[in-house]
Structure 1
Amino acid sequence: MNAPVNPKDLAQAQPCRRDVVVASALVGGALLVGCSPADLMSAGSKVEVGAFGPFIKIAPDGGVTVISKHIEFGQGNHAGLAAIVAEELDADWTKVQVEQAPANAKLYANGALGAQLTGGSSAISNSWDQLRKAGAGARAMFVQAAANRWNVPVGEITVKDSVLTHASGKTATFGELLADAAKVPPPTDVRLKDPKTFTLIGTDRVRRKDSQAKSDGTARYTQDVRLPDMLTAVVAHAPLFGAKVKSLDAADAKKVAGVVDVFEIPTGVAVVAQNTYAARMGREALKLEWDEDKAEKRGSVAINQLFKDVAAGKNTQTKWEPFDQRGDASGLESAKGERVFETTYEFPYLAHATMEPMNCVASVDGNKVKLVFGSQGQTLDQLASAKIVGCLPGSVEIETLYAGGSFGRRANFQSDYVAECVHIAKKVGKGRPVKLVWTREDDMRAGYFRPLTVHAVKVRLDKDGYPAAWRHRIVSQSIMKGSPMPAGKGPDQTAIEGTAGSPYLKATPVVDAQVALPDVGVPVLWWRSVGATHTAFAMEHTIDQLAAKAGKDPVDYRRALYTKAGADRHLAVLNLAVERAGPTAAAGWTRGVAVHESFGSVVAQVAEVKLENGVPRVGRVVTAIDCGVAISPDQIAAQMEGGTCYGLSGVLFGEVTLTDGKVEQSNFDRYRVLRINEAPTVETNIVPSGNPPSGVGEPGTPVIGPAVANALFALNRTPTTRLPFVRSET
């Protein structure tokens, strides 16, 4: 954004003919030539923009409100986004607050993803230049207003903590200059600060703005929404993915006190009631028969075996797509001997298991739609709702609330639970609000899941013990198949990221890396750190085993490969983590190291592990991260801690299993997660950097698994080839 948007350019009193054509094209699935994606996705929106642009509002008392286009669901991005604006604006940080932006892709699209969507650890990185320019532009408007009032050059005015000062001693606050500043034409070009002069960014003053509200219960989540005449709905989903309603007898359900209506929707049967209890009792009273002819009936054991067969070359019907090939690897397939390493890694389906299950509030009155919930992908939710109702995407109003976690789950191409709510609200009609509630059991059984994945690796070492040829096969489900987002050239990047571009492959003269993406009827989605959840493990655990085969220290082995690949950032975080970990682990503990790059950031971890009754116990984790400019060191540390615990939970216990197509886990009794007393101490060290900020929310998750596996390998020389570490006996 070079200059704030002129409000006059956004005025839309009524839908124009162009908007009607856009709506028809979208609902019909047509391509409209001459429209940008933002035009299409925001058609019909009536968002008003103030004098300081779409990201800043200033009150008469001088208080600054930063408009965040990204949802806050626990990751703390609101503080970082506000700090970017406050730094360039020179605002009083104690008087800065954050407000959630309305849904409008033209104003608030994620520059990295092309839609209003929070994901890919990109909230800060994609907003960096945009919000700096917004803050600097507003500051310039105030400086010009002060210069006009005092009849002095703008160069003689300084700004600090929302106060403008002239060398003569004249001062004025933002509030006092507000009316004059609002009349100053927004600058077309602004001068940004030298990062060396930052006084807020990079300091411990950048703390969360929502802590008080989340501590005293005033923070508003979807379950807190209470609207006049609101109904509550639950949905009966098929026990098998792909099954449809065959017959429905709702007579008993309608007899339940409080039940208002029962009807079919595309994903099952909705029970609408006066309250949640009545809706759930009504659902239990349903007599349902499902048509399972086209349903996925395979269990996870069968799917895993299929993937292993594909990886081993036993299934010739599956298409392979190369993603890194260099040199002649033809002889590697049959290679044997002391210098040849070969293994297969198996990774299960994983649930996102957010603390707040999926939910949404919707009202539909004709072609008017209002959604109130924690929307992670406003544009996706607008498009899905518009298609159901037959309206302009931008006219779907979304009030985005806080959400209790997501880890990727709340944003998917189908807007699954949102679409359910809109279908139900459309049936209810007359603008009556409906709250859709998913129970924990609904949430865990209905998907979406981290894909089940198999890696097959074969490496031939040279005379010095380093990789001379590397054959890699990845078999997984495609997350991006059928995506409305441009996938780009080549195979699905979400399946190969972390292996593709690895410094270990760059340091290897001969590489043959390919991916296969068989179709399976289990719904899959990105899970915190996406492809890195399995690629980091496969690459890092392989490296420790190669180092052992070569008789070399695993840290020195990595250093040599990073030097050969020119991976300076990897080398820097590795050295920092090892240095801060100290020379030896505490008595009784064994160390493992892992390094991985994801979402533009590089993370190294040294994990101290021991076995207690055969179960790995992680005590201390020393982390080093290179994430560019560290806007909030405190928040970066929090994300490293949370990401590490989330990743550790997944590799220790996480596993979704299916028997004859049915998900066996339904709650935390059978989907075990890390407990508070099991959480390790995580020490975070940040590599100083002047580069633009990169991801923080996800990069801490994938590294802990291989670090633990490498510690166990150091302890007993037994590699880990299948996750989780602790298998459920139930």
Structure 2
Amino acid sequence: MLAAAATRWNVEASTLRTEAGAVLASDGRKLGYGELAEAAMALPVPQKIALKDPKDFRIIGQPTRRLDAQAKSSGQQSFGIDFKLPGQLTAVVARPPVFGAKIATLDDSAARAVEGVKAVLRVPLDRGAEGVAVVADGYWQASQGRDALKVEWDTSAVEKVDSERQLAHYREMATRPGPRQFDSDMVPLETAPLKLEAEFVFPYLAHAAMEPLNCTVRLADDRAEIWMGSQSAGPDAAAAAAALGLKPEQVVLNVQMSGGGFGRRFSSTSDTVVEACEIAKAARSAGLNAPIRTLWSREDDMRGGYYRPLHLHRARIGFDNQGKVLAWDHSIVGQSILTGTVFEQFMVKNGIDAATTEGMRAPYPLPMRLTVHHPKDNVPVLWWRSVGSTHTAYVMETLLDDIARVTDQDPVAYRMQLFGDQHIRHRDALQLAVDKSGYGKTQLSEGRAWGVAVHESFSSVVAYVVEASVADGQPKLHRVTAGVHCNLAVNPLTVEAQVQGAAIMGLSMCLAGSAITLKDGVVEQSNFSDYTVARITDVPEFDIHIVPSAEPPTGMGEPGLPPLAPAFANAIARLTGKPLRQLPFNLT
């Protein structure tokens, strides 16, 4: 831009400056970037550029409020579920109770008789299943039609996962040899002065976004237009084209505002859009030349997969009286998220899914042998906000607290010792949280305890110091102080919002009822009445601080989640003397 303006004005580029989207000359002349864009594009790319000094930033690093905050907080924001076209019809789907099952018999006469129902269609569903789509004037008519269906399902060819049997199988698998991520010498384990053994269980988790899944499709002979909330618009559009038998350039996908995604709207199979396209295609073949909105109910959404996988961890640790770990033998059992996806070729090595093991060992210099097993179970699984760190951070940070407690060491000092001089960002984040919380200096109210955890994910480090209590057998989180190291914070308000949202989602993992379980292949939970998420009465006071930095920014959408649960658990363990080995918490 400077060079283009200098050429136009026949002056030296060094005499010019930029400000607010324009190039300015010392004599007052001004050219906007838009006026210079074409000429600038024609110039060679400079080999060396002097970037603005961070001390001169006017916008970057300053708290900037979201443009959509008012609309969202006042109920005026439109989401994918709100989108409507003239003549649009709504489809709901009767899905099999067991993943992958097919239709045995179908009597749809009563459904077709419901006023407003336009069609009842047998359609293919995700993972080889079959379903029945009821298309009607609106959601109520379609759901009434679905309720009137008489369907018998053939579940004979699919596995019927049962949570109790599955956990027993995982426990047996954890004792077997298998592929290894790390393979340190375990001989010192047998002669270590102190030993610790632990088993951790983490259940399936639903994404439970406030807006259920939905997708609107309008078909023509040689094109399709789609409206949906998506976290992966490119792959979703490509999957839609394949399902419809169209070329990618014949499909337009309009990304709508999402009422939450957390990974569910980035399905490796693009199941939501593919299902909607199959329904729209079947409806058109049945003579319905209208846009079709496929809408999931809350129950459809919660029972229809995909889930954060169930994981079992087993650890055997040998250490000395100073807390030095001599050998750490660890096993993880859980379904692979990435096997069978486009990510498999570069993220599954030696049979180990990198998403399963991320967050293990690092940043601590521990002699660890890590064995991983990936059973294949008939439950659809997917990434869930912060992916593998949802369970690995919990395991690492609670076990480190256990070692500190056994060796009578302060948990903050113990971590700082382990960081040494190699992990400055971890040290700075934790120290900031400690300093701002008053940890070690402030006397807590009777019945409260501190809890500490720090974890890196998506190249950012978040440390929490929390205050918690136990009342009537129930854990309560009162205050969360965060130290965040995300390098340069482009917008501190966004960092704060992401940490708060991720921490509350992490808190949900701890609360009784936050688990998806299966009985004879059927998901037992269906709505927020039997699947817990944190409510406003559960939310603690937040105090979030950012470590100053001018280094290139790192991720902030997910790192606030992993350390919340272990920090909370560590506080409760200090109150009760009992480590918490499973999520959600079980204090009995």
Alpha-carbon distance in structure 2 between the residues aligned to 1:369 and 1:568: 52
Alpha-carbon distance in structure 2 between the residues aligned to 1:478 and 1:428: 36
Match of 1:380 among 225, 231, 235: 235
Alpha-carbon distance in structure 2 between the residues aligned to 1:293 and 1:188: 66
Match of 1:323 among 167, 175, 181: 181
Which residue pairs with 1:594 in the alignment? 453
Is residue 666 of structure 1 aligned with residue 521 of structure 2? Answer: no
Alpha-carbon distance in structure 2 between the residues aligned to 1:467 and 1:386: 54
Which residue pairs with 1:552 in the alignment? 409
Contact 1:590/1:712 (8 A) holds in 2: yes
Alpha-carbon distance in structure 1 between the residues aligned to 2:587 and 2:308: 17
Alpha-carbon distance in structure 2 between the residues aligned to 1:688 and 1:258: 60
Instruction: Tell me the CA shift for residue 161 of structure 1.
Output: 2.0
Is residue 495 of structure 1 aligned with residue 356 of structure 2? Answer: yes
Alpha-carbon distance in structure 2 between the residues aligned to 1:185 and 1:553: 59
Q: For this pair of structures, how many residues does the alignment match?
A: 571
Is residue 185 of structure 1 aligned with residue 48 of structure 2? Answer: no
Contact 2:134/2:146 (8 A) holds in 1: yes
Which residue pairs with 1:704 in the alignment? 564
Percent of residue pairs bearing the same amino acid type: 40
Taking structure 2 as the reference length, the TM-score comes to 0.93
Match of 1:421 among 276, 291, 297: 276
Alpha-carbon distance in structure 1 between the residues aligned to 2:547 and 2:430: 11
Alpha-carbon distance in structure 2 between the residues aligned to 1:425 and 1:726: 46
Deviations 1:217-264 (A, max 9, x none): 553311221112211101111111121111111111111111111111
Give SS of 1:498's match: coil
Alpha-carbon distance in structure 1 between the residues aligned to 2:481 and 2:218: 49
Alpha-carbon distance in structure 2 between the residues aligned to 1:215 and 1:464: 52
Instruction: Tell me the CA shift for residue 192 of structure 1.
Output: 5.6
Instruction: Tell me the CA shift for residue 658 of structure 1.
Output: 1.2
Instruction: Tell me the CA shift for residue 338 of structure 1.
Output: 5.2
Contact 1:363/1:422 (8 A) holds in 2: no
Contact 1:382/1:394 (8 A) holds in 2: no
Which residue pairs with 2:172 in the alignment? 309
Which residue pairs with 1:533 in the alignment? 390
Alpha-carbon distance in structure 1 between the residues aligned to 2:488 and 2:117: 54
Match of 1:652 among 511, 529, 538: 511
Match of 2:206 among 326, 348, 351: 351
For the structure 1 residues 399 and 460, does the alpha-carbon distance in structure 2 shift closer, same or farther, using more than 3 Å as the test?
Answer: same
Deviations 1:106-144 (A, max 9, x none): xxxxxxxxxxxxxxxxxxxxxxxxxxxxxxxxxx1xx45
User: 5 Å matches for 1:200-599?
Assistant: 200-267=58-125, 268-313=131-176, 320-326=178-184, 328-330=185-187, 332=189, 335=190, 339-429=194-284, 432-485=290-343, 486-488=345-347, 489-490=349-350, 491-499=352-360, 501-504=361-364, 507-508=365-366, 510-563=367-420, 566-582=422-438, 583-588=441-446, 589-599=448-458
Which residue pairs with 1:628 in the alignment? 487
Give SS of 1:294's match: coil
RMSD: 2.1
Deviations 1:469-527 (A, max 9, x none): 1101000111011102333434101111111x5123xx22x321111011110111111
Which residue pairs with 1:6 in the alignment? none
Contact 2:188/2:318 (8 A) holds in 1: no
Contact 1:341/1:458 (8 A) holds in 2: yes
Give SS of 1:481's match: coil
For the structure 1 residues 202 and 168, does the alpha-carbon distance in structure 2 shift closer, same or farther, using more than 3 Å as the test?
Answer: closer
Alpha-carbon distance in structure 2 between the residues aligned to 1:245 and 1:161: 62
Instruction: Tell me the CA shift for residue 303 of structure 1.
Output: 1.1
Instruction: Tell me the CA shift for residue 330 of structure 1.
Output: 4.8
Alpha-carbon distance in structure 2 between the residues aligned to 1:184 and 1:552: 61
Contact 1:163/1:172 (8 A) holds in 2: yes
Instruction: Tell me the CA shift for residue 579 of structure 1.
Output: 1.3
Alpha-carbon distance in structure 2 between the residues aligned to 1:158 and 1:630: 25
Contact 2:161/2:379 (8 A) holds in 1: no
Structure 2: gaps of 5 or more residues? 126-130
User: 5 Å matches for 1:719-730?
Assistant: 719-725=579-585
Deviations 1:21-70 (A, max 9, x none): xxxxxxxxxxxxxxxxxxxxxxxxxxxxxxxxxxxxxxxxxxxxxxxxxx
Contact 1:455/1:474 (8 A) holds in 2: yes
Alpha-carbon distance in structure 2 between the residues aligned to 1:187 and 1:643: 44
Give SS of 2:132's match: strand
Q: Which moved more, 1:455-464 or 1:697-706?
A: 455-464
Instruction: Tell me the CA shift for residue 678 of structure 1.
Output: 1.6
Give SS of 2:511's match: helix
Residue 514 of structure 1 aligns with an amino acid whose one-letter code is T
Give SS of 1:320's match: coil
Contact 2:319/2:326 (8 A) holds in 1: yes
Contact 2:485/2:547 (8 A) holds in 1: yes
Residue 520 of structure 1 aligns with an amino acid whose one-letter code is D
Taking structure 1 as the reference length, the TM-score comes to 0.75
Alpha-carbon distance in structure 2 between the residues aligned to 1:239 and 1:633: 45
Deviations 1:172-192 (A, max 9, x none): 455xxx455435434442536
Structure 1: gaps of 5 or more residues? 1-139, 314-318
For the structure 1 residues 465 and 153, does the alpha-carbon distance in structure 2 shift closer, same or farther, using more than 3 Å as the test?
Answer: closer
Give SS of 1:450's match: coil
For the structure 1 residues 195 and 253, does the alpha-carbon distance in structure 2 shift closer, same or farther, using more than 3 Å as the test?
Answer: farther
Give SS of 1:649's match: helix
Contact 1:458/1:470 (8 A) holds in 2: yes
For the structure 1 residues 585 and 517, does the alpha-carbon distance in structure 2 shift closer, same or farther, using more than 3 Å as the test?
Answer: farther
For the structure 1 residues 383 and 297, does the alpha-carbon distance in structure 2 shift closer, same or farther, using more than 3 Å as the test?
Answer: same
Q: Which moved more, 1:472-481 or 1:158-167?
A: 158-167
Alpha-carbon distance in structure 2 between the residues aligned to 1:658 and 1:225: 34
Contact 2:112/2:118 (8 A) holds in 1: yes
